Amino acid sequence: MVSSNGGLSVTCEKCPENMSGVTQDGWNCITCPRGLTSKGNCKCPNNEILVERSVDGVLFDEALCIHCNGSEQSFSASDASGSRCVRCEQTFIQVSKSCDCNSPNILTGGLCFLPHEGLPPKGVAAVRFAQLGVTLASAWFLKNLQSSAFACWLYSNLTACQALGNMCVMNMNSLSSSSTDACGLFQYIFVSTARVGVIHSIPYWRHNLPWLYYGDQPGLASQVLEKNHFPTTFTFKGTDKDVKLKFLAASFDAAGNFLKWQSLEGGLLQLCPDTQTKLDAAYFFGTTYQQNCKISVSKILLDFANPVFYDLFLEYNGGNGQQHLWAVPVLNLNLQYNEKFVNQGSNMNNWLLTRRFFLVDALSGKENDLGKPPRVIRIASKITISIRLVSHTQRGTIHPPLITVAYTDVLIQNPETQSVMVSFAVSYEMNQREAQIQTDIALGVLGGLAVLWSLLKTAGWKRRTGSSIIDLQTVFKFLLFYAGDLANVFFIITVGTGIYWLVFFKAQQFVSVLLPLPPQEEDFVTYIACAFSLKALQFLHLLVSQLAIDIFFIDWERPKGKVLKAVEGESVTKSTAAPVSIWRTYFIANEWNEIQTVRKINPLFQVLAVLFFLEVVGFSNLALMDASSSLTRSSESYVAPWSRILRFGVSAALWIAIAILQIIFFAMIYERFVEDKISQFVDLCCVSNISVFLLSHNCFGHYIHGRSVHGHADTNMEEMNMNLKREAENLCSQRGLLPNTDGQTFQISISRKMRLNYDWIHETLTRKRGPARLLDSSANTFEQSTRAYNAMNKFLSSFIDHVHKEMDYIVKDKLLLERILGMEFMEPIEKSIFYNDEGPSFTDVLYYGNETTLLIFDILFFSVVDLASQSFVLAAILTYLQQEIFRFIRTTLGQKNLASKTLVDQRFLI
């Protein structure tokens, strides 16, 4: 090279024939006595170094090859680059008193050993990748396994022992009594060095050796994890607040060199990119953390070319004010023991705990040449730090933490397109067995009571239908009743469980409870699903029952005078009674149609209020799996995963609280001072001189006595106002069915004879399914329907007036037990029975009287959608939509049933 100014501005010329070699720096030509390398530089034999310049920098005409003095006292040899003489490796000097390791001495891994008896056996330089079913002859193991084992055994060399331990970890701690792989050599040395003693009184931590195992005795893992408690306590609140988990890791390189102490804060164990705030939040006690991502294999090879091995510790303050370290055990899910995976399942007695682990191993999978890319890499694809609370603790005592690692073997094919899913999590758990037992007990007891209650309901239903035969319909009805009652049982248990965890986990000062983990929530979610399914069945049963009731409006109005009416086909006129207006009946039918879907709460306000408190006020933050009870969170702070139990607990508590407040408001304020649609309907019936006779069962129903105390209601405004004034001043009789009483609503239990007469008239009344077809029906059909309507009106009014002595009735109060059980003890054999109603019980056939069922169904529907989508907004939207859909169905079909049963033209129901 003549000149070089960088870039492409380089000038060169060929060396002359007598000086054909090029100096190492490339600027000059020189004579080479021992030949040239492929690059045109001078070369020297092994154990000789190339010298081109004198000590003062003057270039020789001919290069020199100087032999390194390998004898005493120099003991020098050429270094790897061949540029200088360096002192021989110490084992060469000790064994052969030279820089040569001649037979019978053993040369391995650049070290020289005497052929001592008792040396560790020849190791198998193989690494097994069990997931791929591949066993490779590792170049790293070929170079270092035997030398590390010999140096560790003969010289107790700490670095060699650490390197041997690292190779065992890279081979997934493969313990086998017959194997001489890395772990077999390590175990051989461990057993043979019992005389040197242990460190810190830990029997598994031998002097000069790394601590890899806790031992393979059965049940040892459960002793390590449960026998001793971590010697510090944690509190969420107060002046003694202590929630910081201070994890430290001692790190080593593959060659066994100690690197440094590292804190886990900052994302040491996280392979995924993330913000510092989130990474640090993972180590606050009670803050469940989970991180998942997909990483390309090319990035892993770039960032983790050399594996780093970690021994994990948890730092804590001792009683004397000093800092102490607690060794954190590792559960390697890929651990190989006699070629089988044993660290699976929840039985700790079958676990084999270890200590050391790594994140990425791109070294042991290299074959033949360490300078080439690996054929297989092993990645810690799932790391979980588990913190378990001591049972029945009140002071935040925990068991020793456990780190669980699962590795994934990746066969390298195209690193740019290959990727691996990795996750890191910190979970907090406690023994949920007692809670599960209590839940099972509650479910068993309440489920048994639900069976008895359903049997009582079925017995009451049989009495009300007038049947005493237990048939298939009775069994089916019992199952429907039981479905509703069992849904209530599941609802009570799930709401109680959700609110319990919400209150006790978020409000605790000293740590005493921890949330169930997602896998442990499966039973809870199953209970919610069962509750929703059964409640949906009860709701549909309720809907069908309400759409099949028998109802008739009894018009008490009598004709006022007579009118002349021409006789069709004749030229004469006859005097007939003046017709009674049908508009009052239409009006009452419309009002009944309107109150069919009236509820004790406002459904739209309910949904919006719940959504407002969850998303705007911030109650949804209480559903996060951390100990904070704050309703607000910083946008930069870590957001813990959702707890399904807490989500249900928060949403259900809000639904119930807002619903109770609404019911109290409507009952005590709105219905008293603004509008009470139910009471207004009863008053309207009385003013309109129309009674409502409805049967929800074959022989049971309700009666609203609407007979006007003034005798008539079809009058002008002046007379109507006068009648109302007289009634307000108590100048007329009371509205009740019995004299001098105000009772207008009754539960009725009618005799079978009464029901037969009702059905006989009703069959004619509904033969054409109401008057919607009157326009295209024959005159005979019209007249037949009209006569049937008049006959039914006359029959029911005469029945109320005690005209039919063979079908009479009595009025009495219900017994307290009858009201509690919702059934009647007396059977109406000869006389029907009218039970005085303390409240408007006819609302049982309306939405209004079934608010509890509707509210529970809405809560469960909202919760099921939310648990499936993890979105309160979507749950609120779909809940309101289902409310409107079912309200439309109830209104539309209820209107058809009303028109069919009462002969009110459906066109007048608006």
pLDDT of residue 80: 72
Average pLDDT over residues 289-317: 90
Q: Is the pLDDT of residue 903 over 90?
A: no
Strand partners, 4: 10
- Cis amide bond preceding 546, omega within 30: no
- Following CA atoms 149, 150, 151, 153 in sequence, which dihedral angle do they give, to the nearest 10 degrees? 80
Q: Which of 353, 879, 397 is nearest to 659 (CA)?
A: 879
| DSSP of 402-427 | EEEEEEEEEE-S-TTT-EEEEEEEEE
- Name the percent of the chain lying above pLDDT 90: 41
Beta carbons of 515 and 288 less than 8 angstroms apart: yes
Q: Is the pLDDT of residue 701 over 70?
A: yes
pLDDT in tens, 815-837: 999 998 888 899 888 899 999 98
**Backbone φ, ψ for residue 419 (5° rounding):** -145, 160
pLDDT in tens, 558-604: 877 666 665 555 666 666 666 778 888 999 999 999 999 999 999 99
Give the H or E element holding residue 746.
strand 745-749
Token pair 């607000």: residue: 632
Give the H or E element holding residue 49.
strand 48-53
Reduced DSSP (H G I as helix, E B as strand, rest coil) percent helix, strand, coil of the chain, to 5:
40, 20, 35
Average pLDDT over residues 349-375: 88
Pair of tokens at residue 443: 């479910």
Which residues fall within 8 angstroms of residue 663, CB to CB, at 6 or more apart?
Answer: 600, 601, 851
pLDDT of residue 280: 60
Reported as a pLDDT band with limits 50, 70 and 90, residue 771 is very low
Beta carbons of 841 and 832 less than 8 angstroms apart: no
Range from 437-441, 444-448, 471-475, 571-575 carrying the lowest mean pLDDT: 571-575
Q: Which of 602, 532, 478, 611 is nearest to 856 (CA)?
A: 532
Reported as a pLDDT band with limits 50, 70 and 90, residue 773 is very low
Mean pLDDT of the chain: 85
pLDDT of residue 340: 47
CB atoms within 10 A of CB 354: 23
More confident residue, 64 or 723: 64
Beta carbons of 590 and 582 less than 8 angstroms apart: no
Please tell me the pTM assigned to this model. 0.78
pLDDT of residue 562: 66
pLDDT in tens, 617-674: 999 999 988 877 888 877 767 777 888 999 999 999 999 999 999 999 999 999 999 9
Reported as a pLDDT band with limits 50, 70 and 90, residue 770 is very low
| DSSP of 543-581 | HHHHTT-EEEEEE-----SEEEEEPTTSS-EEEEEPPPP
Reported as a pLDDT band with limits 50, 70 and 90, residue 550 is very high
CB atoms within 10 A of CB 250: 17
Reported as a pLDDT band with limits 50, 70 and 90, residue 151 is confident
pLDDT of residue 569: 59
Q: Is the pLDDT of residue 337 over 70?
A: no
Reported as a pLDDT band with limits 50, 70 and 90, residue 342 is low
**Backbone φ, ψ for residue 443 (5° rounding):** -65, -40
pLDDT in tens, 799-818: 999 998 889 999 999 999 99
pLDDT of residue 245: 83
